[in-house]
Chains A and B, each alone.
Chain A
């Protein structure tokens, strides 16, 4: 026996994929390159130093010596004009004007709408007050703890996995189907007694093979290069990835259900993927969008996937606490698949 048609079609799909170096690169290699590029560009560089200026004058030298020892700030002595100009351009956060006669006040000039300005003001003030003799009545001690999964790269990797799965469903499956329709291969298959659902299902079966590999390769690479770890369950991560890929595959099938040529398919795929890349928090958090659109954004399959996966991977949350995003993903998978199969064109 040669085995059933579904397994034969799935096997053929896997073989074809492995024989196409371009597809291999975009599926497995490209996300690794993005991880390296963005992980490096946005790596945490230790505590950042804020630049402040002390305006040259009688008391400036004393002020500089008081401030120079602080790890959080960099100090420069500037004339009033260039200090003012740099405050406008944002190169300095705060300007200190030392009093020309004793008893007059120190002046701090800064823009309070800059996020770091109030903190820098407090820092500078404390340094100068201490030098002038202030003592703290309460003893204190610091204990630092870096939160797990809190770096940008930790946050980025789950989003990249979502992007990778979406691209796989779109460029791997949808584009492939439209191409087969354009080349009349679908028509040839439709002229055989092949069960039509077997052809469509073969894309999902091959996905069952590729998705775990994608998940493993990306997280293994991210761990080796940036020490990214999965704080929740690895099984939950894989299960979410499979669910996400089903949901994206439904969208892909919908794109592919009627498009007659690859140009149309190209347009449809971009129409679906590009907005989700921006809105669904792949590269930056979707919380930056106004609150009024948040419920709509949360309904996108990519947002749901990223939300659930980040909770599991970054926060170590349980998959059973992700009911809403899982429902969103399952809903998309079901609705898109049913509609796509209904309107699918073989000729």
Chain B
């Protein structure tokens, strides 16, 4: 029973359009689980099925061992939700909105409004109408509303989309704190840094299918290692020119140059510089960096996450 969510053979189609094309997943209790993928990959459809807002076309979904077609009322009371870009009651204040939602959970709402205002740094805005909040404040209110029933699982759909960098980081801290308190969190994102930073495990989805599953480190490691070197030369070299370098794992053409997966920059970089000198070519660009989930997605699909 350490499994919070179990999805098997999930399919959702709208006429001819298939949004989710056979997804199998398990989310463990107490972990922060990320659905990572580009826009239109089926993340929102999947999470809305988990939230009981959409009915699946096929497959089974269990949340906390319960099913939406059998125990919808109990499930609604035990989960928390923040939809993508929630619009609330424009002319209620932050505090009034929290108090209103709190009544929906009856006795389950053990967190006080004061605690939530504090925790979400909304204390100063308690008297402000929702329509007058900034994007970051509105999103923090959305998360606070998700938490108000003291849920066992919290679903966050694109929690930081459209936020400025400072608000994003503030919200990340909040989510990390929830995770540290042992809450199960399921979030969708198309930001690789968000998934890396927050998630214990990540499922990468594309075209409605899971194409990779694991911890961010595992996924990066599986796709060719943590360290990358990006090199562009003048004149251009063929990929074979990099064969047999010390500590090299893989070569991938990218733009007008190459991305090399390497074991460690301290070994591979000197060897690479020596090889270029040997060939008599000049590097016009030479960057060493750590791999990200974006590189994982690229190596799996040949596309980047942010291509729309």
Residues of A within 8 A of B (CB): 2-5, 8-9, 12, 15-16, 19-20, 183-185, 187-188, 190-194, 347
In the assembled complex, the Cα of A16 lies from the Cα of B83 at a distance in Å of 23
Q: Is B99 a contact of A8 with CB atoms below 8 Å?
A: yes
Q: Is B92 a contact of A12 with CB atoms below 8 Å?
A: yes
- Beyond A193-B77, A347-B54, whether A4 also contacts B87 by CB under 8 A is no
Size of chain B's interface in residues, with CB distance under 8 A? 31
- Among B53, B77, B108, B129, max chain A CB count under 10 A is at B53
Q: Dominant SS at the A interface?
A: loop
Q: Does B147 contact A (CB under 8 A)?
A: no
**For residues 82 through 126 of chain B, which have their beta carbon under 8 Å from a beta carbon of chain A?**
83, 85-92, 96, 99-106, 108
Q: Is B83 a contact of A194 with CB atoms below 8 Å?
A: no
Nearest to B72 among chain A residues (CB) is A193
B161 to chain A, nearest CB (A): 14
Q: Is A16 a contact of B91 with CB atoms below 8 Å?
A: yes
Q: Does B51 contact A (CB under 8 A)?
A: yes
Choose one: A12, A19, A193, A347; the contact of B149 (CB below 8 Å): A193
Nearest to A189 among chain B residues (CB) is B104
Choose one: A2, A4, A193; the contact of B73 (CB below 8 Å): A193
Choose one: B85, B104, B129; the contact of A193 (CB below 8 Å): B104
Q: Is B96 a contact of A191 with CB atoms below 8 Å?
A: no
In the assembled complex, the Cα of A187 lies from the Cα of B91 at a distance in Å of 18
Q: Is B102 a contact of A2 with CB atoms below 8 Å?
A: yes
Q: Is A185 a contact of B87 with CB atoms below 8 Å?
A: yes
Q: Is B103 a contact of A19 with CB atoms below 8 Å?
A: no
Identify 15 residue pairs between A and B in the complex whose beta-carbon atoms are under 8 Å apart, listed by A's number: A2-B103, A5-B103, A8-B99, A8-B100, A9-B100, A12-B92, A12-B96, A16-B92, A183-B87, A185-B86, A188-B81, A190-B53, A192-B104, A192-B105, A193-B105
Collect the chain B residues with CB atoms within 8 Å of residue A192's CB.
76, 81, 101, 104-105, 149
In the assembled complex, the Cα of A5 lies from the Cα of B88 at a distance in Å of 16
Q: Is A194 a contact of B91 with CB atoms below 8 Å?
A: no
In the assembled complex, the Cα of A2 lies from the Cα of B99 at a distance in Å of 8
Collect the chain B residues with CB atoms within 8 Å of residue A2's CB.
99, 102-103
Q: Is B100 a contact of A184 with CB atoms below 8 Å?
A: no
Choose one: B83, B90, B102; the contact of A184 (CB below 8 Å): B83
Q: Is B73 a contact of A12 with CB atoms below 8 Å?
A: no
Q: Is A3 a contact of B103 with CB atoms below 8 Å?
A: yes
Collect the chain B residues with CB atoms within 8 Å of residue A5's CB.
103-104
In the assembled complex, the Cα of A5 lies from the Cα of B99 at a distance in Å of 10
Nearest to B108 among chain A residues (CB) is A193
19 other A-B residue contacts (CB within 8 Å) besides A16-B91, A184-B83, A193-B106: A2-B99, A2-B102, A2-B103, A5-B103, A8-B100, A15-B96, A16-B89, A16-B90, A16-B92, A187-B53, A188-B83, A188-B86, A191-B79, A191-B81, A192-B149, A193-B76, A193-B105, A194-B104, A347-B54
Collect the chain A residues with CB atoms within 8 Å of residue B103's CB.
2-5, 8
Q: Does B52 contact A (CB under 8 A)?
A: yes
Choose one: B79, B88, B102; the contact of A188 (CB below 8 Å): B88
B61 to chain A, nearest CB (A): 15
B72 to chain A, nearest CB (A): 9
In the assembled complex, the Cα of A50 lies from the Cα of B49 at a distance in Å of 77
In the assembled complex, the Cα of A295 lies from the Cα of B110 at a distance in Å of 58
In the assembled complex, the Cα of A87 lies from the Cα of B89 at a distance in Å of 64
Q: Is B104 a contact of A184 with CB atoms below 8 Å?
A: no
